[in-house]
């Protein structure tokens, strides 16, 4: 549990970090909260020769409003999401999710940006970013570009972010009035990744679904948005038959790996179960 | 009239903080301030660091080891393999079970992560890099993971070093992968009972392999002084004196020049009883290099290599009358011991005290047979928070009694009531020959059933079962257990020929404070607190001024250590009897000072007083001073005593546990709604510490039953050797515990105490299983294999058609 030797860099600005990243090349890794990278280094699964620590770049932290958008610095830690009055008021799903991630100690270090760009299908924020229609602002040597979360995740540890880029901000539209939401996560114990988890964001208009986003954690090589299930629900009343169809559509896109949490059959069934529970809670919160 | 005097007495007694007081733990002040002193806290001048090259394969021949690249790394002092240890005859070592174990793999590896080479370097980081740089070339051999397959006629031979050895440490070996066959009870009488019985049941009960997983892993700092020829080793050991003897025998250094120190130990649970290759290698390295060498396991090494527990495959059978009266019990066990037989049991008992498996029941005839088997897994087989194999035994009998109850349609409380040994039958000789010293099972059962309103629970369960829309299944687990602890009488119990006594030395200082040293070693049990309370009550010295020291073999008297709930039953008795020797001498001094006969004195809390005259007395403090300057003529000065206690019998703590679970039919998650543990550990020394021990043991039992597992794939890879997968519950997962007690003192123990720390582990595990199985009982399920995690329980739900 001892990593090989590496050099440590602690830039003070995004520009400096991008410069270092370009200079040091592919042997350099960005260090955010470190709760995925450092265990991988200790087990020698990852052996970067340079670590670029983003923790001293103040510009990367913090949460503010820009009109109907909430802008969250990529290095904002989970506990700051939980404690943010702004998020609690305008985007309460995020604090609710952050409370289900790891434990308080980890949440003091772990960041929303690190969680997203690591590309681990077990991480929670990728699915949440999908459910929230989030946009990801990436900074590179040529300036900034903004990508939608939907389409950003390509596979395990693979995203649209280029090797010379840094995720600097996440932009999320605030919830419209009477938006229901829920994230249901089945896990073996505190600190574990999800066996399966489902996020639902929902609005009803006259008893019919006027907006729905469904996203799943850890049931495929990457976070999934359940487009087909969303389509089945949009414009419909939430009756039992519809919900059954949507749950079947959710389960149909699952392709989980077998591990000690369960085999594919169980995880797929649990994705359906978590979806049903999230949908029911989200619907109850639409009032 | 006596009220003020009585109040004065109560005040004096309470000031001592003696037996029966919930004295706060003396250890906690340093632990909660980070001031403990664990092995890894020890730093010595010139200290080097050791790391271990381990096998990635479970069974393979070593073709070649290339050290060159590792030795070329600056700061690397040595790379040692079995070839280097051979001239010292230290490449193999004896195990506590009469087998041998490779210190470093000799020509072949027998399990994944086996020790292949060691690296000694200036620091931990260089050592880790050097481990990566050692090149080992392997040739794969067929892997044997299933212990039944190991006994097949054409199974690959695992232990080539034993070729041709048909006699093992415990009798004849029938197969190259067979270690021993051990039996107890009366096979013929049991066969007769089965032949005549109206009802029989049979089931395979698997107790999977688990790991004790203490928070502190194993490790040591070995320091050989080449000038003095002395070896000091700080080591995570539950039995430092045994380690000293073994190290002396292995190294040839006289035992007087070997000092083993167990400093603060962060939990043992049986994982720290054995002697591991890592210890031996660090000691050898220190002798070879003449410098201190530190070795500390990481978590993956701890879970993968040092002392697992259980792994018993038990075929249980019960014969009974039609109304559920048990006539006979029979068990055949296949015990998977891994690649080397390194179980830590009393030498004569290769299956430990498994023959306690007749449990709390009056059974006329019983027989058990245990076959030990080699497989390509790590060695171990220790008592994980239990007395030797008692956990397995209790699990077996409790599962079988439930299975019988289900077959007969009898209530699970009623079948126990019908078969319990009755209070008036004690002392009771079990069909396996144990003499149960005391017990009162019916009273304990009635108390538990009344506390939870058992009939109401069963009524609620019936209603839940009748509702097909119920989101949960409800289960009620009820278990009675009888432990056999306090090993043990030296006529039966020894380790490597040393009787399993334990010891205490007490010195009372001139000013009336005292120091006491024991052969045991606390790993969280709170010995420094409770041992002082025993002395306080026996000698009238406030426990606050009694220092308790353990773990340093140069100062503590020889003892066999702390495991198998033996500290209070054995060392606790030694403490009481050492104190009583001092008490007897104190009486002589008091009589001398008061100028009366010894028989004219009464003992009262903290003083001897002249009978009938409250004004004439000498306190223990007066007597202590006098012992050092005006001892009676003919009496040695000083006030100290040593006692080595060889127990006449084991002790038999017991309990009744009840658990209510609600199983989520959609996810398979089990919620423990209620858990009540009633324990009888005889005399209670510190009720608060007992409560803490029970909470800890229940939590560990919960972990074993609900989540802990060591699954292997067909290649012998251990899946899940980190705490991400290996289940240690946090406060979030841990159920709320309710406790209760009865007190049935041990008639042969000087204090009446029986030991308690392991009862909650032994008792709770079958209770969780019973509760989970009971939730499925109406669906025809009578047994399920641990761990009852959500995934496995969901599979049962699916198979029964009960999943939502």
Distance between CA atoms of residues A262 and B668, nearest Å: 11
- Whether B639 and B709 share a structural domain: no
**Domain identity same for A166 and A188:** no
Minimum CA–CA partner of A6 in chain B: B125
Boundary of a domain, candidates A150, A173, A196:
A173
Residues B671 and B756 in one domain: yes
Host H or E run for residue B693: helix B687-706
Determine contact, residues B95/B380, Cβ cutoff 8 Å: no
Q: What is the nearest CA distance from B142 to chain A, expressed in angstroms?
A: 24
CA angle, corner B8, sides to B2 and B12, nearest 5?
145
CA distances from B220 to A7, B233, B252, B282, B283 (A): 31, 7, 20, 7, 9
pLDDT at B311: 97
- In order of A230, A238, B649, the CA distances from A202 in angstroms are 10, 11, 69
Active site residue B238: yes
Q: What is the ipTM of this complex?
A: 0.96
Q: Are residues B254 and B336 in the same domain?
A: no
Q: What is the mean pLDDT of residues B634-658?
A: 96
State whether A245 and A192 are in the same domain: yes
Average pLDDT over residues B358-363: 98
Asked if residue A244 and residue A166 are part of one domain, the reply reads no
The answer to whether residue A1 sits within a structural domain is no
Q: Give CA separation, A262 vs A108, A122, B206, B320, B792, in Å.
A: 30, 14, 21, 40, 8
Kindly state the DSSP code that residue A144 receives in the 8-state scheme: E
Rounded to an integer, what distance in angstroms lies between the CA atom of residue A118 and that of residue A126?
Answer: 9
Which residues partner with A217 through β-bridges? Answer: A197
Give domain status of residue B189, yes or no: no
A84 and A148 belong to one structural domain: yes
> What residues contact residue B692 under an 8 Å CB cut-off, 6+ apart?
B526
Among candidate residues B54, B385, B399, B665, the one labeled active-site is B385
With bands split at pLDDT 50, 70 and 90, how would you rate the model's confidence at B2? low
Rounded to 10 degrees, the C-alpha dihedral B435/B436/B442/B444 comes to 180
Instruction: Select from B96, B105, B46, B521 the least CA-distant residue to B281.
Output: B105
Residue B589 lies in a domain: yes
Q: Which structural domain range is residue B19 located in?
A: 3-35+502-645
In chain B, what percentage of residues exceed pLDDT 70?
Answer: 100
DSSP letters spanning B506-524: EEE-TTS-EEEEES---SS
Going A259 to A261 to A265 to A269, the CA torsion angle's sign is negative
Q: Which pairs count as long-range contacts for B142-145, CB under 8 Å and 24+ apart, including other chains? A: B142/B59, B143/B58, B143/B59, B143/B376, B143/B714, B143/B715, B143/B716, B144/B59, B144/B177, B144/B374, B144/B375, B144/B376, B145/B58, B145/B375, B145/B376, B145/B377, B145/B712, B145/B714, B145/B716
**Inter-chain CB proximity A188 and B790 less than 8 Å:** yes
In chain A, positions 37-56, which contact chain B (CB-CB < 8 Å)? 44
Is A191 at the interface with chain B, CB within 8 A? yes
Residues B706 and B744 in one domain: yes
**A261 vs B: CB within 8 A:** yes
The CATH number for A110's domain is 3.30.465.10
Which residue on chain B is closest to A43 by alpha carbon? B300
C-alpha span between A147 and A140 (Å, rounded): 13
Closest B-chain CA to A268: B667
**B796 vs A: CB within 8 A:** no
Nearest chain A residue to B300, by CA? A1
Question: Is A58 contained in some domain?
Answer: no
Burial B725-741 (b: 16+ CB within 10 A, else e): bbbebeeebebebebeb
CB atoms A269 and B729 under 8 Å: no
Q: How many residues does chain B have?
A: 804
Instruction: Tell me which residue in A2, A103, A273 faces B666 most closely, judged by beta carbons.
Output: A273
| Final residue before a domain boundary, out of B585, B613, B645 | B645
When pLDDT is averaged across residues B290-299 and rounded to a whole number, the result is 97
* Average pLDDT of the residues in B101-121: 98
Q: Which residue is closest to B788 within chain A, CA to CA?
A: A188
Chain A residues with CB-CB distance to B668 below 8 A: 266
Residues A200 and A136 in one domain: no
A189 contacts chain B (CB < 8 A): yes
Question: Cα separation of B248 and B251, whole Å?
Answer: 5
Cβ of B795 under 8 Å from any chain A Cβ?
yes
Q: Which residues contact B466 (CB under 8 A, 6 or more apart)?
A: none
What is the rounded average pLDDT of the residues B99-103? Answer: 97
Q: Do A269 and B794 touch (CB under 8 A)?
A: yes
A262 in reach of chain B (CB within 8 A) = yes
Query: Cα separation of B26 and B42, whole Å?
Result: 22
Cα of B270 vs its chain's centroid, Å: 5
**For residue A218, what pLDDT band results from cuts at 50, 70 and 90?**
very high
Residues of chain B contacting residue A266, judged by C-beta atoms under 8 Å apart: 668, 791, 794-795
**Chain A residues with CB-CB distance to B719 below 8 A:** 260
A135 and A71 assigned to the same domain: yes
Question: What value does the mean pLDDT of chain A take?
Answer: 97
The pLDDT tens digits of the residues spanning B384-416 come to 998 899 999 999 999 999 999 999 999 999 999
Residue at B527 is within a domain:
yes
- Tokens 């299975």 label which residue? B403
Number of cross-chain residue pairs from A and B with Cβ atoms under 8 Å apart:
55
Mean pLDDT of B489-505: 91
pLDDT at B685 (0 to 100): 97
Annotation marks residue B424 as catalytic = no
Tell me whether residues A260 and B709 touch, CB distance under 8 A. Answer: yes
Q: Using DSSP, state whether A12 is helix, strand or coil.
A: coil
- Report the pLDDT averaged over residues A149-170: 97
Count of structural domains, chain A? 3
Which token pair is A96?
């609710």
Does B738 qualify as catalytic in the annotation? no
DSSP string, B191-216: HHHHHH-SEEEEEEEEEEEE----SS
**Nearest-by-Cβ selection for A261 from B124, B666, B791:** B791
Distance CA A164, CA A162 (A): 5
Q: Are strands B258-261 and B293-296 parallel, antiparallel or unpaired?
A: unpaired
Q: Which residues pair with B617 in a beta bridge?
A: B609
Instruction: Let me know the angle formed at the C-alpha of B515 by B511 and B520, rounded to the nearest 5 degrees.
Output: 170
How many domains in chain B? 3
Domain identity same for B509 and B619 = yes
In whole angstroms, give the CA distance from residue B784 to residue B774.
Answer: 10
Q: Closest CB to A260: pick one of B127, B720, B795.
A: B720
pLDDT of A224 strictly over 60: yes
C-beta atoms surrounding B682 within 10 Å: 26
Nearest Cα neighbor of A261 from A251, A253, A271, A252 is A271
Are residues B472 and B366 part of one domain?
yes
Is B707 in contact with A4 (Cβ distance < 8 A)? no
Contact A2 B125 (CB under 8 A): yes
Under 8 Å between Cβ of B293 and B330:
no
Rg of chain A over Cα atoms, rounded to whole angstroms, equals 19
Catalytic residue among B114, B238, B523, B693: B238
Show the tokens assigned to B688.
Answer: 């608060």
Q: Are A168 and A74 in the same domain?
A: yes
Say yes or no for a CB contact (<8 Å) between A189 and B730: yes
Distance (Å, whole) CA B367 – CA B348: 18
- One domain, residues B616 and B679: no
CATH of the domain at A13: 3.30.43.10
Q: Is B43 exposed, middle or buried (0-12, 13-18, 19+ CB in 10 A)?
A: exposed
Q: Is residue B184 part of a domain?
A: no
CATH number at residue B249: 3.90.1170.50
Say if residue B1's pLDDT is above 50: no
In a domain? residue B68:
yes
One domain, residues B428 and B468: yes
B156 within some domain: no
Q: Contact, B247 vs B234, CB < 8 A?
A: no
Cα-Cα-Cα-Cα dihedral sign, residues B579, B582, B588, B593: negative
In the set B386, B493, B504, B659, the catalytic residue is B386
**Disruptive mutation site among A8, A266, A268, A277 for chain B (greatest number of B CBs within 10 Å):** A266
Asked if the Cβ–Cβ distance from B719 to A260 is below 8 Å, we say yes
pTM over 0.80: yes
Q: Are A161 and A139 in contact (CB under 8 A)?
A: no
Interchain contact B132–A (C-beta under 8 A): yes
Q: Is the pLDDT of residue A51 over 60?
A: yes
Contacts of B299 in chain A (CB under 8 A): 1
Q: How far is A105 from chain B (nearest CA, A)?
A: 13
Given an 8 Å threshold on Cβ–Cβ distance, is B730 in contact with A266?
no
- pLDDT recorded at residue B597: 97
| Shared-domain flag, residues B48 and B17 | no
pLDDT tens digits, B227-278: 999 999 999 999 999 999 999 999 999 999 999 999 999 999 999 999 999 9
SS3 category, B242: helix
B621 is catalytic: no
| Residue A99: inside a domain | yes
Q: Are residues A270 and A185 in the same domain?
A: yes
Rounded Cα–Cα distance for residues B326 and B317 (Å): 11
Tokens of A8: 């440590």
Domain boundary among B305, B326, B358: B305
The Cα–Cα gap between B697 and B695 comes to 6
Rounded distance between C-alpha atoms, residue B111 and residue B338, angstroms: 8
> Which phi and psi (to 5°) does residue B753 adopt?
-90, 150
Locate all alpha helices (DSSP H) within B50-185, ordered by sequence. 68-71, 82-85, 124-133, 147-150
Confidence of residue B381 (pLDDT cuts 50, 70, 90): very high
Q: Are residues B696 and B786 in the same domain?
A: yes
Instruction: At B186, list the tokens.
Output: 């009366």
Q: Lowest mean pLDDT: which of A22-26, B146-150, B336-340, B774-778?
A: A22-26
Nearest to A189 among B666, B720, B729 (CB): B729
Say if residues A213 and A198 touch (Cβ distance below 8 Å). no
| DSSP conformational letter for B356 | G
Are A278 and A256 in the same domain?
yes
Whether A262 sits inside 8 A of B729 (CB atoms) is: no
Query: Which domain covers residue A192, as residue numbers?
Result: 180-285
| Among B697, B693, B715, CA closest to B761 | B697
pLDDT digit string, tens, across residues B428-477: 999 999 999 999 999 999 999 999 999 999 999 999 999 999 999 999 99
Whether B748 is covered by a domain: the verdict is yes
B496 pLDDT above the threshold of 90: no
Q: Tell which of B302, B719, B721, B724 to mutate to test the A interface (max A CBs under 10 Å).
A: B724
Classify residue B411: in a domain, yes or no.
Answer: yes
Chain A residues touching B669 at Cβ < 8 A: 186
Residue that is last in its domain, among B594, B618, B645: B645
Query: Are A235 and A135 members of one domain?
Result: no
pLDDT digits (tens, 9 = 90+) for A265-275: 999 999 999 99
Which tokens hold the place of B417?
Answer: 């009531």
Residue of A nearest to B795 (CA): A266
Using CB atoms, which residue from B300, B709, B732 is nearest to A190? Answer: B732
Over the stretch B31-74, which tens digit does the pLDDT of each residue have? 999 999 999 999 999 999 999 999 999 999 999 999 999 999 99
Q: Do B791 and A273 touch (CB under 8 A)?
A: no
CB contact under 8 A, B129 and A4: yes
End-to-end alpha carbon distance in chain A: 51
Do B608 and B588 share a structural domain?
A: yes
Asked if A188's CB is within 8 angstroms of B727's CB, the reply is yes
Q: How many other CB atoms sit within 10 Å of the CB of residue A73?
A: 22
Residue-wise burial string across B379-416, b where 16 or more C-beta atoms lie within 10 A, e elsewhere: bbbbbbbbbbbbbbbbbbbbbbbbbbbbebebebbebb
- Say if residue A275 is in the same domain as residue A220: yes
Is residue B654 domain-shared with residue B610, that is, in the same domain? Answer: no
Together in a domain, A76 and A137:
yes
Task: Give a yes or no: residue A2 inside a domain.
Answer: no
What does the CA dihedral A37, A42, A45, A50 come to, rounded to 10 degrees?
60
CA dihedral sign of residues B74, B76, B79, B84 = positive
The CATH number that applies at residue B332 is: 3.30.365.10
Q: List the single residue in A with minimal CA-CA distance to B721.
A: A260
């Amino acid at each position: 549990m001892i990593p090989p030797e590496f050099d440590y860099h602690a830039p003070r600005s995004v520009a400096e970090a991008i410069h270092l990243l370009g200079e040091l090349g592919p042997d350099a890794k960005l260090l955010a909260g470190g709760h995925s990278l450092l265990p991988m280094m200790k087990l020698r699964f990852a052996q970067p020769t340079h670590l670029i620590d983003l923790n001293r770049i103040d510009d990367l932290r913090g949460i503010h409003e820009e009109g109907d958008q909430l802008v969250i610095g990529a290095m904002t830690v989970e506990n700051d999401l939980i404690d943010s009055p702004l998020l609690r008021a305008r985007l309460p799903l995020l604090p609710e999710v952050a409370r289900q991630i790891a434990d308080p100690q980890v949440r003091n270090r772990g960041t929303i940006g690190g969680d997203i760009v690591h590309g681990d299908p077990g991480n929670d924020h990728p699915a949440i970013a999908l459910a929230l229609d989030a946009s990801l602002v990436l900074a590179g040597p040529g300036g900034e570009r903004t990508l939608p979360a939907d389409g950003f995740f390509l596979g395990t540890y693979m995203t649209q972010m280029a090797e010379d880029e840094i995720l600097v901000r996440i932009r999320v539209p605030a919830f419209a009035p009477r938006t229901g939401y829920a994230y249901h996560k089945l896990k073996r114990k505190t600190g574990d990744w999800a066996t399966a988890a489902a996020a639902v964001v929902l609005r009803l208009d006259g008893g019919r679904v006027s907006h729905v986003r469904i996203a799943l954690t850890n049931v495929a090589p990457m976070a999934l948005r359940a487009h087909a299930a969303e389509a089945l629900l949009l414009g419909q009343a939430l009756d039992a038959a519809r919900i059954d169809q949507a749950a079947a559509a959710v389960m149909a896109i699952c392709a989980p790996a077998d591990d000690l949490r369960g085999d594919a059959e169980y995880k797929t069934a649990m994705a359906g179960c978590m979806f049903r529970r999230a949908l029911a809670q989200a619907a109850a919160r639409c009032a | 009239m006596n009220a003020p005097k009585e109040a004065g007495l109560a005040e004096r007694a309470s000031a001592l903080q003696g037996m029966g007081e919930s004295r706060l733990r003396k250890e906690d002040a340093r632990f909660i301030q980070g001031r403990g002193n664990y092995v890894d806290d020890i730093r010595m001048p010139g200290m080097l660091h050791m790391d271990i090259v381990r096998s990635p394969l479970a069974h393979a021949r070593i073709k070649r080891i290339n050290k060159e690249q590792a030795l070329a790394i600056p700061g690397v002092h040595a790379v040692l393999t079995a070839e280097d240890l051979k001239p010292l005859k230290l490449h193999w070592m004896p195990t506590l079970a009469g087998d041998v174990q490779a210190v470093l793999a000799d020509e072949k590896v027998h399990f994944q992560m086996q020790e292949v080479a060691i690296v000694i370097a200036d620091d931990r980081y260089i050592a880790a890099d050097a481990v990566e740089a050692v090149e080992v070339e392997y040739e794969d051999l067929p892997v044997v993971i299933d212990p039944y397959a190991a006994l097949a006629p054409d199974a690959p031979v695992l232990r080539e070093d034993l070729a041709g050895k048909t006699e093992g440490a415990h009798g004849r070996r029938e197969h190259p992968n067979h270690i021993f066959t051990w039996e107890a009870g009366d096979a013929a009488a049991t066969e007769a009972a089965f032949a005549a019985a109206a009802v029989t049941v049979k089931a395979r009960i698997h107790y999977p392999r688990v790991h004790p997983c203490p928070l502190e892993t194993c490790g040591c700092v070995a320091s050989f002084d080449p000038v003095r020829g002395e070896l000091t080793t700080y080591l995570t050991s539950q039995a430092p004196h045994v380690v000293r003897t073994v190290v002396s025998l292995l190294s040839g250094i006289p035992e007087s020049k070997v000092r083993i120190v167990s400093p603060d130990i962060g939990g043992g649970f049986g994982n720290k009883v054995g002697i591991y290759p890592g210890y031996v290698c660090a000691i050898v390295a220190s002798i070879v290099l003449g410098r201190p060498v530190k070795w500390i396991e990481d978590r993956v090494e701890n879970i993968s290599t040092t002392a697992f527990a259980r792994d018993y495959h038990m075929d249980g059978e019960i014969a009974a009358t039609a109304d559920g009266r048990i006539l006979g019990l029979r068990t055949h066990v296949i015990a998977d011991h891994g690649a080397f037989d390194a179980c830590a049991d009393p030498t004569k008992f290769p299956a430990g005290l498994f023959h306690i498996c007749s449990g709390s029941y009056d059974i006329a005839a019983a027989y058990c047979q245990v076959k030990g088997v080699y497989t390509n897994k790590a060695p171990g087989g220790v008592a994980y928070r239990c007395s030797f194999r008692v956990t397995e035994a209790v699990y077996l009998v409790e599962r079988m009694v439930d299975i019988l109850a289900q077959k007969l349609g009898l209530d699970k409380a009623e079948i126990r009531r019908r078969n319990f040994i009755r209070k008036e039958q004690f002392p009771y000789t079990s069909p396996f020959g144990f003499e149960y010293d005391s017990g009162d099972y019916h009273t304990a059962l009635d108390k538990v059933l009344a506390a939870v309103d058992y009939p109401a629970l069963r009524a609620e369960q019936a209603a839940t079962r009748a509702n097909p829309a119920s989101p949960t299944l409800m289960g009620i687990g009820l278990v009675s257990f009888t432990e056999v602890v306090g090993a043990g009488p030296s006529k039966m119990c020894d380790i490597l020929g040393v009787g399993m006594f334990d010891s205490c030395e007490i010195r009372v200082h001139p000013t009336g404070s005292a120091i006491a040293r024991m052969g045991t070693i606390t790993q969280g049990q709170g010995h420094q607190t409770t041992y002082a309370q025993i002395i306080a009550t026996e000698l009238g010295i406030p426990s606050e001024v009694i220092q308790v020291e353990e773990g340093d073999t140069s100062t503590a008297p020889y003892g066999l250590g702390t495991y198998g709930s033996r500290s209070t039953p054995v060392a606790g008795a030694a403490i009481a009897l050492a104190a009583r020797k001092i008490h007897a001498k104190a009486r002589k001094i008091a009589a001398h000072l008061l100028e009366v006969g010894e028989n004219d004195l009464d003992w009262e809390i903290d003083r001897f007083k002249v009978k009938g005259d409250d004004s004439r007395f000498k306190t223990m403090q007066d007597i202590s001073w006098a012992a050092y300057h005006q001892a009676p003529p003919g009496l040695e000065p000083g006030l100290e005593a040593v006692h080595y206690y060889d127990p006449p019998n084991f002790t038999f703590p017991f309990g009744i546990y009840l658990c209510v679970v609600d199983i989520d039919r959609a996810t398979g998650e089990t919620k423990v709604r209620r858990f009540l543990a009633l324990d009888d550990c005889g005399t209670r020394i510190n009720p608060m510490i007992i409560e803490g021990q029970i909470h800890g043991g229940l939590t560990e039992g919960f972990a074993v039953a609900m989540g802990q597992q060591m699954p292997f794939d067909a290649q012998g890879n251990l899946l899940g050797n980190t705490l991400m997968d290996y289940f240690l519950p946090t406060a979030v997962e841990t159920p709320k515990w309710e406790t209760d007690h009865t007190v049935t003192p041990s008639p042969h123990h000087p204090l009446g105490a029986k030991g308690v720390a392991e009862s909650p582990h032994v008792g709770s595990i079958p209770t969780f299983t019973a509760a989970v199985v009971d939730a499925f009982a109406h669906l025809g399920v009578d047994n399920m294999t641990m761990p009852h995690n959500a995934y496995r329980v969901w599979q049962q739900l699916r198979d029964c058609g009960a999943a939502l």
